[in-house]
Structure 1
């Protein structure tokens, strides 16, 4: 192999590493900072990672429309509601509220129940609707 072939190989390896890191950074930053998940990231967590989804809005708002598979767990009794369920603590949890503020505050409380990965949907149900994703009644 000549010198230029080795440089080409190193460039390809560097490109591979940089692109891999770029793809992983949004997930890593979400886990570290607890900022929240975009509707797309939440969909990936729900479909691929079998995340539990809890809607912490008022019951009438939940009945008006919620994410498919979401369980109602009011913010005032969130820990008690989740604690009653026999859930695998290895699965991630996605919390949903109206605009993302209440669910972001509830992340720490759910983590105390032993779930390793807990995140809030950034923008809440408003962002979900804006992304034209389905709701069930």
Structure 2
């Protein structure tokens, strides 16, 4: 009986480790590959981690609808105008564009500016809308 209890305990420990790894793997792959955030992850960064949001779309698209609290900087003037915002470099920063392509291209440039943690919104504003999350006009 004692031997069977030990096997049961080992099985439970193995199950715990495997399920914990399965929960942590998406986060780990995001950190390693530099993959952007899902709309749900971006919401967590904004609400819990006080992430700043920088929208890289043209002003007309930004005014048509943007993420709550987002600041608009056109991608061609990113470095100069990002300095003007005086954002806390210790807090996370989320770059957003229409589809996720422009923000991914700008990621390395922003990382060089000394922000501790920078990511992009995968799929951009289109993914945000597809997730039925609110836009501010």
Shorter-chain TM range is over 0.9
Deviations 1:21-78 (A, max 9, x none): 1111112211211121111111111112111110000001001100001111110111
More displaced 10-residue stretch of structure 1: 27-36 or 68-77:
27-36
* Equivalent pairs, count: 137
Give, in angstroms, the shift of residue 116 of structure 1: 2.3
CA distance in 2, matches of 1:57, 1:122: 15
Residue 65 of structure 1 is matched in structure 2 by 65
CA distance in 1, matches of 2:15, 2:127: 33
Residue 19 of structure 2 is matched in structure 1 by 19
Q: Extract structure 1 runs of 4+ deviating beyond 6 A.
A: none
Residue 98 of structure 2 is matched in structure 1 by 98
Residue 46 of structure 2 is matched in structure 1 by 46
TM-score, reference length from structure 1:
0.93
CA distance in 2, matches of 1:90, 1:8: 45
Contact 1:110–1:118 under 8 Å retained in 2 = yes
More displaced 10-residue stretch of structure 1: 12-21 or 55-64:
12-21
Aligned partner of residue 135 in structure 1, secondary structure: coil
Unaligned 5+ segments in structure 2 are none
RMSD of Structure 2 on Structure 1 (CA): 1.3
Unaligned 5+ segments in structure 1 are none
Give, in angstroms, the shift of residue 88 of structure 1: 2.2
CA distance in 2, matches of 1:54, 1:20: 33
